[in-house]
A = this chain, B = another copy of it.
Amino acid sequence: MFSIGQLSTKTGVKIPTIRYYEQMGLIENAGRSAGNQRRYDQAGLERLSFIRHARDLGLSIEHIRELVDLSRHPEQPCTHAHALAERHLLSVRARIAKLQKLEQELARISGLPDDGQVGSCNVIQALADHSLCKTSH
């Protein structure tokens, strides 16, 4: 059994965040010590690691909740988990594509000559005028 602080160190999830996950129902209400402090076992550690990793991969709390619920019914087909991973992959790809357009645009803006004063600043001009953009966004 370990305390919330130890769990935090082991998983890299901050203490208030662990309490937040408990409140949101992502992890079960922890057992308590005689003095009302949370106590965790190996299973609790594993569930939190799962959540941590899924968050690192950018899944939303809602998506993770779906997966957690799924894993409570191990006899069901895992089509749903696959679909979720795939959907998320598509959304990550879309975000990358969008950011790459922004990158081009910012690189262009940043590369404009600095001719001195804000009054004629190319960066500010470029930000004011979308029609100067080379790509759509």
Contact = CB atoms under 8 A, between A and B. Distances in A.
A53 B126 CA distance: 9
Most B-side CB within 10 Å, residue of A49, A53, A86, A119: A53
A95 interface: yes
Contacts of A117: 74-78
Interface string A86-125: 1011001101100110110111011000111111111110
A46 interface: yes
Interface in A30-75: 46, 49-50, 52-54, 56-58, 67, 70-71, 73-75
A63 to B, nearest CB: 10
Contact of A57 (B54, B79, B93, B102): B102
Nearest to A93: B103
A93 B52 CA distance: 24
Contact of A56 (B88, B116, B137): B137
A85 interface: yes
The number of chain A residues touching the other chain, given as a range, is: 35 or more
Nearest to A50: B128
A14 interface: no
Given A85-B110, A100-B96, A118-B70, A129 B79 contact: no
A81 interface: yes
Contacts of A107: 89
